[in-house]
Chain A
């Protein structure tokens, strides 16, 4: 199992697998409902011009979320092939 990092630390254009949300993560329920579950593959596509928010691709669509929220989401980067 590779190391987990915060989603906000993921490099631009890199892929990762969602590892976990914070334990008391009721606030993240909507992200789960939008298909971002532990084990789901995602890609950090780009950031907004001012570096925040982030744009990720998940299940074939694009989602923007704030860096502050991404700080508490853990992902496992997929090693570049």
Chain B
């Protein structure tokens, strides 16, 4: 079946509209680098509605300055989707999504040093009946590996433009843009024989798809072929199910094949690889590689995945990561802190005193500032995660950790997201997108906030200071208590992961396979671009919710007004927040907390560290981050109405434990809402984490009291 006679009508007839390109390719073939090189900074990053898959659209310019829109589709190994990412790629290419029109032309990028496997996806895409340009990326690596590709021969065989290129060096881009600006592109000359046991079924399905499912004539054959291999576990929201007629045909063929012992999916895959092998014998020349012996990647892996050195490298890298997060982030954090305070001062000085001024300074500026202050940490984490991804180390970390993570039912890919959550759960949760399995991904998101993040540190430090009498805290006690808190959170995260995988989200684990790409030098520009995009995404997504909650929390503490001349402390006691503290006191009293601590717990929803400043207001202690001594004394002096001390060592310990478990962070809730696409999971998370916090604290408080503390 040859389509070469048909010339693309897309390019020639649409002079009014530039053709829309879709960029597709396997993971790790340099697709993002090519996309960045083609579109520069003219990119729009968003989400496909209904799924948490990143949608990237950019504009490339032809040699004559004509804009050409390019959609960067998620990396895929096959159109028979196995992950939400691959499903989006499949559905956009087949024109199944309502939010994204089917692209006019397809840019297929392959890793020339790994041609056979990369051509599998290309082979499926050539079925789509659309003009295709094939980009052979990483020609340098292919040459080094002793692979010579006869480009002209390949062009002739496929009937489409084939552009050799090295996207990371910018080589081949001009030729590619020239090909992209061609007004007419030929349709692929795509001849391959569908194996005889299934050929009849494919034509029957194709006819039925045309007639009963109203598929476009060009894509009906591709859809028919896909029906034989696609498990279609991931359906498009709002798509129409297959017509009864087509389903019947498919079912009756499957029954017939099962009777004959024909594995139709395997037959189809094998016949594609046979066609690829025939193609490759004509266009590939294998010569001896430049240097014999193990490749550089192999030598690196000899160390990085070594039974002893492997752990040291992993530990060293993660140690360096956290050290740099905490040291590097300090400068911008201080800078932001100072400037937020300055901005508030400027507004204070330029506006008449009143509620509006307070709303702006104490509500909006202070609240948003409290979240923006974590942005440096979040960005550094995004940068490191991007660096680990683009060098290929991410896959090795998953490879090393897979065995351990499998003990609780997760896989190695959950490791980096969980580890990142020690700094901040937000980048951790956003990094779970690399986990293909939907259940593993959800479980990782659910437990990630249990890892003690850096916003809990000031709370732990304050409580340790209040817990130990005297001016100086023995280092051993401080470190011991800190480690205890981190260990508690970590154990809880893994314990709950195990529990969720056995109950709520159980199911046969799918085949766990992962490509280990060769190590590559990172492209800092790409990594930085990705970091800025993800940071911006977080700010846009969480920004409005954070602003809203900040204003709400300010309102709760500013109203109703206490009588004229009241202190801040008295105002807080009089306010809705104070009343809310009283309201929740019966619930937290069994834990040894009073309504004043309750105010702190409520205020922590803005960010957990706000607890410290709230306690400062509640107990009327002037202190700042550098000097907590006045606050410590104020806490030590705090009393219950009956005169008993409030912050006993037991209460301090219980409060720390409460912070380990409870879900209190609005930014995290907002991100979980976005990443799971429903309110169901963030609400569940609030319930199970805060419920656990209460139960554990109740147990600790009860046992402590029994023991006489």
Contacts and interface: CB of A to CB of B under 8 A. Distances in A.
Whether A associates with B in a native complex is: yes
Contacts of B514: 63-65
Given A26-B231, A49-B310, A53-B403, A61 B305 contact: no
Given A45-B298, A63-B515, 7 more contacts: A25-B266, A29-B229, A29-B231, A30-B78, A33-B77, A50-B404, A60-B114
Contact of B269 (A37, A51, A61): A37
A34 interface: yes
Given A29-B229, A37-B273, A53 B512 contact: yes
Interface in B440-478: none
Interface string A16-27: 000001000111
B513 interface: yes
Interface in A38-76: 38, 45-46, 48-53, 55, 59-66, 69
A66 B395 CA distance: 14
Contacts of A55: 305, 399, 516
Interface string B397-415: 0011011101000001000
B117 A35 contact: yes
Interface residues of A toward B: which range?
A: 20 to 34
B113 interface: yes
B184 interface: no
A52 B513 CA distance: 12
A63 B670 CA distance: 36
A55 B518 CA distance: 13
Contacts of B310: 49
B399 A53 contact: yes
B561 interface: no
Nearest to A46: B305
A29 B266 contact: yes
B511 interface: yes
Contacts of A50: 400, 403-404
Given A59-B117, A60-B114, A31 B513 contact: yes
Interface in B487-513: 510-513
A66 B400 CA distance: 12
A76 to B, nearest CB: 18
Contact of A49 (B82, B311, B515, B516): B311
9 contacts: A25-B266, A30-B513, A32-B269, A33-B269, A34-B120, A48-B402, A48-B403, A65-B512, A69-B511
A80 to B, nearest CB: 18
A21 B402 CA distance: 23
B80 interface: yes
A52 B80 contact: no
Contacts of A53: 399, 402-403, 412, 512
A47 B157 CA distance: 40
B213 to A, nearest CB: 23
Interface in B585-607: none
Nearest to A35: B117
Question: Which of A21, A49, A69 has the most chain B CB atoms closer than 10 A to its own CB?
Answer: A49
Interface in B507-541: 510-518
B238 interface: no
A36 B384 CA distance: 33
B437 to A, nearest CB: 12
B144 interface: no
B513 A34 contact: yes
Question: Which of A28, A46, A53 has the most chain B CB atoms closer than 10 A to its own CB?
Answer: A53
A15 to B, nearest CB: 15
A26 B311 CA distance: 35
B400 A60 contact: no
B301 interface: yes
Question: Which of B266, B298, B311, B515 has the most chain A CB atoms closer than 10 A to its own CB?
Answer: B266
B269 A29 contact: yes
B286 to A, nearest CB: 10
A65 B517 CA distance: 14
Contact of B399 (A29, A34, A48, A69): A48
A49 B113 contact: no
Nearest to B307: A49
A27 B511 contact: yes
Contacts of A26: 231, 265
* 8 A-B pairs with the lowest CB-CB distances in the bound complex, closest first: A50-B403, A62-B516, A32-B269, A49-B307, A35-B117, A33-B78, A49-B310, A52-B403
Nearest to A21: B266
Nearest to B302: A46
A25 B269 CA distance: 13
Contact of A69 (B80, B305, B512, B515): B512
B145 interface: yes
Contacts of B305: 46, 48-49, 55
Nearest to B145: A60
B306 interface: yes
A29 B266 CA distance: 7
B270 interface: yes
B273 A35 contact: yes
A50 B231 CA distance: 33
B266 A66 contact: no
A66 B310 CA distance: 19
Nearest to B298: A45
Interface string B307-323: 11011000000000000
A52 B402 contact: yes
Interface in B360-408: 395, 399-400, 402-404, 406
A21 B109 CA distance: 30
A60 B113 contact: yes
B118 to A, nearest CB: 9
Question: Which of A32, A37, A55 has the most chain B CB atoms closer than 10 A to its own CB?
Answer: A32
Contacts of B104: none
A65 B398 CA distance: 12
B579 to A, nearest CB: 55
Given A34-B117, A37-B273, A48 B516 contact: no
Question: Which of B116, B395, B400, B403 has the most chain A CB atoms closer than 10 A to its own CB?
Answer: B403
Nearest to B113: A60
A65 B145 CA distance: 24
A37 B270 contact: yes
A48 B307 CA distance: 8
Contacts of A59: 114, 116-117
A59 B391 CA distance: 21
A28 B511 contact: yes
Contacts of B145: 60
Contacts of A52: 402-403, 406
A32 B399 contact: no
Contacts of B231: 26, 29
Contacts of B120: 33-35
A55 B398 CA distance: 12
Nearest to B229: A29
